[in-house]
Amino acid sequence: MSAIDDLPPLRDVVQRFDLAPKKSLGQNFLFDLNLTSRIARAAGPLAGVTVIEVGPGPGGLTRALLAEGAARVIAVERDERCLAALAEVAARYPGRLDVVAGDALETDLGALAARHPGPARIVANLPYNIGTALLTQWLDADVWPAWFDRLTLMFQREVAERIVATPEQRADYGRLAVLCGWRTKARILFDVPPSAFTPPPKVTSSVVELIPRADTLPCNRRILSQVTLCAFGQRRKMLRQSLKGLSIAGKPIDAAALLDRSGIDGQKRAEEISVADFVGVANAAAALAGV
Ligand code: SAM
């Protein structure tokens, strides 16, 4: 029996269901239910909330989310070996855990959440190999404000720093920081050492909170993405040079005219201008392209 519920300890679960961690699936499991409870609390309060969890694995974070009072958890897991272990958790919390077998990258998580009333949020110890791809997919959505009211996610510390970076942290500031800063307020909550995981990864991890902004600066997300791709594609070059390749809707954009219209000094580099500046450039590019 564990500290938070009457289910068996996670090490026993992993042994009984033969869940030897697979590197190809980014499986670094958390066995410490005090730590998974801390992550669940960081995402709280959870009463009345539908939590979408990506990659429940043997169920450590899942159990913590349920014990912390989530109305329900919808857990999307790609590794079919984990399903029997998760069925035991579902039996312990009748009607509150839905396990969806599949690839989270190919799953419409918003549609799963929309089946239930109340707020929805994503909480996950993400598989590191697809963490950035998942976050980008969730934030780069057509519809905003998003269907989730908060994201509480574990990443490698290095990725966490790239998510929350500002132009002051030039080395980390890039396309991911612009997307995250445009659509959310992001911050690192706490670090988790490699020793907390089985097997231990090589690097420290961090739990990151992202709260969607209701007052996102108006901008075409595709054009913003094209602008940041161009600007950070040659991040050491001045913007008047790096933006030369920009083309919107098939129309080449004159970099000098673009920077002039946006009021940005063309001698600056991508890593020196703010999210609001990037939005200004994207809107100016849309105007010049007539879209
Ligand atoms: N939540 C568990 C924990 O904290 O111990 C496991 C976290 S482990 C870092 C990542 C989990 O994501 C694994 O269970 C893995 O099988 C699962 N996973 C990997 N790729 C996935 C995908 N594309 N879609 C859904 N789950 C995936």
Confidence of residue 170 (pLDDT cuts 50, 70, 90): confident
pTM: 0.96
Helices (H) and strands (E) in the chain, counts: 12, 11
Secondary element (H or E) of residue 38: helix 33-42
Ligand 1 centroid to Cα of residue 221, in Å, is 29
Q: 98 and 127 in contact (C-beta within 8 Å)?
A: no
Identify the residue whose C-alpha is closest to ligand 1 atom 22: 103
**CATH code given to domain 10-212:** 3.40.50.150
CA 250 / ligand 1 centre spacing (Å): 40
Nearest atom of ligand 1 to the alpha carbon of 62 = 1
CA distance 79 to 72: 21
User: How far apart (Å, rounded) are the C-alpha atoms in residues 196 and 53?
Assistant: 19
- Average pLDDT score over residue span 197-216: 96
Distance in angstroms (rounded) separating the CA atoms of residues 183 and 176: 11
* Each residue's pLDDT tens digit, 20-77: 999 999 999 999 999 999 999 999 899 999 999 999 999 999 999 999 999 999 999 9
Give the model's pLDDT for residue 154.
98
Residue with token string 């190919």: 106
Write the residue with the smallest CA distance to atom 21 of ligand 1.
78
What is the distance in A from the centroid of ligand 1 to the CA of 182? Answer: 27
- Pick the atom of ligand 1 nearest to 10's CA: 5
> Residue 149: pLDDT band by 50, 70, 90 thresholds?
very high
As a three-state string, the secondary structure of 20-83 is CCCHHHCCCEECCHHHHHHHHHHCCCCCCCEEEEECCCCCHHHHHHHHCCCCEEEEEECCHHHH
Residue 169 pLDDT: 86
Please report the pLDDT score of residue 89 as a whole number.
Answer: 98
User: Mean pLDDT throughout 239-261?
Assistant: 96
Reported as type and span, the H/E element at residue 97 is: strand 97-101
Which of the following CATH numbers is that of domain 221-289: 2.40.50.140, 1.10.1040.10, 1.10.8.100, 3.30.300.30?
1.10.8.100
Distance 123 CA to ligand 1 centre (A): 12
C-alpha 102 – ligand 1 centre gap (Å): 11
What pLDDT does residue 263 have?
96
Q: How confident is the model at residue 3 (pLDDT cuts 50, 70, 90)?
A: confident
Q: Pocket around ligand 1: residues whose beta carbon is below 6 Å from it?
A: 25-30, 54-57, 60-61, 76-79, 82, 103-105, 125, 127, 130
How confident is the model over 184-206, as pLDDT tens digits? 999 999 999 999 999 999 999 99
Residue of 19, 78, 122 to test ligand 1 pocket, by largest number of atoms within 8 Å of CB:
78
Mean pLDDT of 283-289: 97
pLDDT at 1: 52
High-pLDDT (> 70) share of the chain, %? 99
Q: What is the pLDDT of residue 195?
A: 97
Comparing 10-212 with 221-289, is the CATH topology the same?
no
Domain locations along the chain: 10-212, 221-289
What's the pLDDT score for residue 123?
98
Average pLDDT, rounded, for the chain? 96
- Look at residue 270 and give its three-state secondary structure: helix
Distance 230 CA to ligand 1 centre (A): 33
